[in-house]
Amino acid sequence: MIAQKLDHAGSLSTLLVQARLAWKSPAENRTHLEQQLAQCAKPFDLAVFPETFTTGFLGDPNVPSEDMDGPTLDWMKTLAAKRNCALAGSAVIVVDGQRFNRFLLVTARGEVHHYDKRHLFGYGGENQRYAAGRQRRVFKLGDWRICPQICYDLRFPVWCRNRDDYDLLVFVANWPVGRIQHWTALLQARAIENQAWVIGVNRVGEDGNGVAYPGCSQVYDPAGKLVADLQSNEEARVVELALARVAGIRSEFPFQADADRFEPGSL
């Protein structure tokens, strides 16, 4: 687990970076995302980028492969230290010849933890080019327990299920226009059923395959109340999350005590 000291225990200032992504252009995307952080006047503890923020979704062919010692991780470490914050988002990472859609979380101290996307989007051919992750992860950032998820994982509630081990679900995505109603409905559902904060950060613009992305990055509180909606414009916005809200909602309506006890793979 990651442990990062935050300046104000019990709250998490999170920057949602709803960005346009250049197709197959890691250096351009890193520069653009850094500029978006620089334009934010408010301080923040955590900045969240979209899924595959260096290349766009399935935009890695003919792009030099990166490993965990590559330029994207180096950039994240440098930027996190410079901004004194944690950074999160997914990128294509190759390890021992296997290609992963990997959620990366880097702290201001340079600690790096990761989660590999479990549910690969077979409808788009992701499962033919990437290896699926095998472990569900929870990271610790200050007092917060954070469960990272990537795009298609949102459709699988058992995998996302709160086992009394997290306070915040973070989804990074390239979720297209045609299914955006599913995105918003499922984000809210994950918040309600898990009594946790839920952040969903999606991209905007069109990729090299002609797929359009509408943004709609959102934050829901542990009761399923919509707290922030970035709608369709490119934007970076700070949202304040209160840890006390998690305990309050779970105490007020403790339905998790009646939940079925099972683990993924046991059904």
Catalytic residues, by residue number, are: 51, 117, 151
Side chain identity, residue 97: G
Cα 23 to Cα 56: distance, rounded to the nearest angstrom = 6
* DSSP notation for the chain: ------SSTTEEEEEEEE-B--TT-HHHHHHHHHHHHHT--S--SEEE--TTTTT-TT--TTS----TTSHHHHHHHHHHHHHTSEEEEEEEEEETTEEEEEEEEE-TT--EEEEE-SS--GGGTHHHHSPPP-----EEETTEEEEEEEGGGGG-HHHH---S--SEEEEEE---GGGHHHHHHHHHHHHHHHTSEEEEEE-EEE-TTS-EEE---EEE-TT--EEEE-TTS-EEEEEEEEHHHHHHHHHHS-GGGG-----TT--
Residue 250 pairs in a beta bridge with none
Side chain identity, residue 101: N
